[in-house]
Structure 1
Amino acid sequence: MNEIDSADMGPWLSPEDLEFVRGKVPMVYVDIVPVRLDEFGKLEAIGMLLCVTGDTILRSFPSGRVLFHEGLREALARHIEKDLGPMALPQIPAATVPFAVGEYFPTPGAGYLDSRQHAVALSYIVPMQGDCNPGSDSLEFTWFTPGDARTRELQAELGEGHAALLRQALAQMGEL
């Protein structure tokens, strides 16, 4: 058996098994758009990570796979803690209905590109009340005003899928 089964982490696939599964079925991911809201629920800032991918530096949102037998709320909490730290203090939504669904394909031109796999990303806007700090996979975490987030310059720093996600989040919050 190539899986490691830990009571705390749930079953994980070996790198070889994960590659095999990615080649056969779509993977489910969560994307998290961290936000700061004022006392009336109006958007004050959107948070983004600065990450190194190969030889490219890009901005992105916290995201990751939903594990086997893991609920969406647990996946959101796990990826927020991994990418933003234990003091982010997220307000995970009561309903797990995403505000957007992204489709990623390994084939250029078929949709958003993810050369590793076909993936479906359920996207959530999550207010943060605490201090957000980048995880070990990121260089920094920065809050941007809605005005800054609307600029083409900042959107150009995001990968194609996350730039579209940013625009959808701004529209969802009445800021586009």
Structure 2
Amino acid sequence: MAVLNDEVPDDDDFDAKRKRGEFDHITPDDVVNAGGTPPGWLSDTEISRVRGEIPIPYVVVVPVRTDETGHVTQVGTLLAVDDDGTITRTLVAGRVLFHETIRNAVRRNIARDLGDLALPVLPATMTPFTVAEFFPTPGASDYFDPRQHAIALCYVVPMAGDCKPQDEALDVEWCNPEDAMQPDFYEQVPNGCGRIIRAGLMWAGIV
């Protein structure tokens, strides 16, 4: 996966001279030819240590399709294989990288899970509809992540393009919002992420 793809411009890009702080001197060749851990990323040992000591910022996306009036007509979930081999539902989610804006984090994680042709329609403001606090201790909150204490900014994002499963996802499954609001559906999305779906749909006007 490219490192901070939107932060490392080619020389002829319109914003090639824009200041990027820590990344001012990183070039595309540095990313392509980097040995070991590329700039902006932590090694497996480092990320395990950080996860054990401080909260990690995340974004979580509920993918939807809308009609011409903006009403939600479909809700998307990813099908993936859990650690024990069972197939489970999940949402688009991922870390916010160092020196990365929230907007770029949402866009990057959507492209990683749904492909470059998903064409997300990002909101004008990146205010989340809710903030989900995931704890590594079961029962500490409605949200559980055995790896870490994660603070997740949650968004409902319409997809205007073709969504294809990427990375470790097996498929992208769409259903109507009324079905997604039913307990027997959102309870299939583990670790509290089903609650995020329900809260997001209620925020979008589905009751």
- Would you say the 8 A contact 2:145–2:191 is kept in 1? no
* Aligned mates of 2:39, 2:63 — CA distance in 1: 26
- Please tell me the residue identity of whatever aligns with 1:110: A
Root mean square deviation of aligned Cα: 1.5
Matched, 1:71 2:128: no
The Cα shift of 1:10 comes to 4.9
- Would you say the 8 A contact 1:87–1:131 is kept in 2? yes
Runs of 4+ in 1 over 4 A off after TM superposition: 5-10
Number of aligned positions between the proteins: 172
Tell me, which stretches of 5 or more residues in structure 2 are unaligned?
1-22, 32-37
Q: Percent identity?
A: 45
Matched, 1:82 2:109: no
Structure ID, larger Rg: 2
Which of 106, 109, 114 aligns to 2:136? It is 106
Deviations 1:39-93 (A, max 9, x none): 1111101111011120132111100000011001110111000000011000111
* Aligned mates of 1:115, 1:41 — CA distance in 2: 36
Matched, 1:166 2:197: yes
The structure whose residues are more often strand, as a share, is 1
Deviations 1:116-165 (A, max 9, x none): 11010000111100000111311110111012112222212101321110
TM-score (norm 1): 0.93
2:65 aligned partner: 36
* Aligned mates of 2:158, 2:201 — CA distance in 1: 14
Q: Secondary structure at the match of 2:40?
A: strand
TM-score (norm 2): 0.79
* Aligned mates of 2:61, 2:144 — CA distance in 1: 18
* Aligned mates of 1:136, 1:101 — CA distance in 2: 25
- Please tell me the residue identity of whatever aligns with 1:78: R
2:20 aligned partner: none
- Would you say the 8 A contact 2:62–2:155 is kept in 1? yes
Q: Secondary structure at the match of 1:170?
A: helix
1:60 aligned partner: 90
Q: Which of the pair has the greater relative contact order for Cα pairs under 8 Å at 6+ separation?
A: 1
